[in-house]
């Protein structure tokens, strides 16, 4: 399958600020120094049977770099750049005429954010984004999307921050609206409920329950809904068409903090309710199929300094 955007909750993949608005923005607003982050994430989704016949699987590599800079206790700016590559494996997909509907997909995104912390403790964030998503050989001028997020969060106590947000994105001939629930709840000193992913065009931030079971070690379980759209090659079986992959990843995470800068996370899980969709250039559905439950393994090496 393709491109679950794994990320530890303290770092970001596509949007450096969106998943951490409950905590990271608050910390940045109290710290005069600029902070930088980097993540590298390989993901492997095992080969699984398609409902109508054939098999599918994928391997993904994601890289992200971001920053946050507080101008004062009230104003923070941030930004990130991401690149991802999904290499798909189709074997005799009956629903698509026995031909692979697409092969390798390249994705890139650039995001900026501005956060204002009001006197009442509310943190308001606006975050526009431009993205590129296309199979190798696609027409570049028709492979861009754009949109943004508007979020508001407030600390109700030292241990609980809640908020809401809305994302609106124009993604390859389709407009998507994404409601967001922002949660950062330190239930006990070792138990936490928070958003594990970064919000963006692919979906909301999800939820993860994590437990710090030993110094530097943490285990978590969570999930989120994800949907990816991308332009297809001009020379493929559906010239200038559109591919879409949607799923709900459920995962188990084990994380280790090497020091204050470096962290390693390992993931294992499954894709629940995955669906592969092929559309023509006008965004009319041509064919679709539903893979079986897909095993997923991945890792993230991340740094924050």
Q: Which domains does the chain have, with CATH numbers?
A: 24-304 (2.40.128)
Q: Which of 135, 134, 155 is nearest to 143 (CA)?
A: 134
| pTM for this prediction | 0.87
pLDDT in tens, the chain (305 residues): 443 433 333 323 333 334 444 444 444 445 568 999 999 999 999 999 999 999 999 999 999 999 999 988 899 999 999 999 999 999 999 999 999 999 999 999 999 999 999 988 899 999 999 999 999 999 999 999 999 999 999 999 999 999 999 999 999 999 999 999 999 999 999 999 999 888 888 888 899 999 999 999 999 999 999 999 999 999 999 999 999 999 999 999 999 999 999 999 999 999 999 999 999 999 999 999 999 988 999 999 999 99
**Exposed, middle or buried: residue 180 (CB in 10 Å: 0-12, 13-18, 19+)?**
buried
What number of other Cβ atoms are within 10 A of residue 141's Cβ?
7
The whole-angstrom separation of Cα 201 and Cα 199 is 7
Residue 29 · residue 76 · CB < 8 Å: yes
């Amino acid at each position: 399958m393709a491109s679950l955007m794994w990320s530890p909750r303290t770092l970001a993949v596509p949007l450096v600020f969106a998943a951490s608005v409950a905590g990271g923005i608050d910390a940045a607003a109290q710290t005069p120094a600029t902070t930088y982050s980097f993540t590298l994430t390989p993901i492997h989704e095992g080969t699984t049977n398609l409902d109508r016949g054939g098999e599918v699987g994928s391997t993904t590599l994601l890289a992200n770099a971001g920053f946050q800079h507080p101008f004062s206790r009230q104003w923070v700016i941030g930004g990130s750049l991401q690149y991802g590559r999904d290499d798909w494996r189709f074997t005799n997909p009956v629903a698509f005429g026995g031909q692979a509907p697409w092969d390798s997909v390249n994705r890139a995104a650039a995001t900026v954010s501005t956060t204002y912390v009001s006197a009442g403790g509310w943190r308001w964030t606006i975050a526009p984004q431009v993205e590129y998503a296309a199979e190798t050989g696609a027409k570049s001028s028709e492979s861009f999307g754009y949109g943004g997020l508007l979020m508001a969060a407030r600390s109700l106590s030292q241990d609980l921050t809640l908020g809401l947000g809305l994302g609106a994105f124009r993604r390859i001939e389709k407009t998507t609206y994404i409601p967001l629930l922002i949660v950062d709840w330190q239930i006990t000193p070792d138990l936490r409920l928070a958003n594990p992913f970064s919000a963006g065009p692919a979906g909301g931030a999800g939820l993860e329950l994590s437990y710090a079971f030993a110094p530097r070690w943490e285990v978590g379980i969570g999930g989120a809904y994800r949907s990816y759209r991308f332009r297809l090659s001009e020379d493929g079986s559906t010239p200038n068409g559109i591919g879409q992959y949607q799923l709900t990843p459920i995962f188990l995470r084990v994380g280790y903090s090497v020091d204050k800068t470096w962290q390693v996370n390992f993931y294992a899980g499954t894709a629940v309710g995955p669906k592969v969709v092929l559309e023509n250039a006008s965004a009319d559905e041509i064919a679709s199929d539903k893979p079986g439950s897909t095993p997923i393994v991945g890792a993230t090496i991340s740094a924050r300094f």
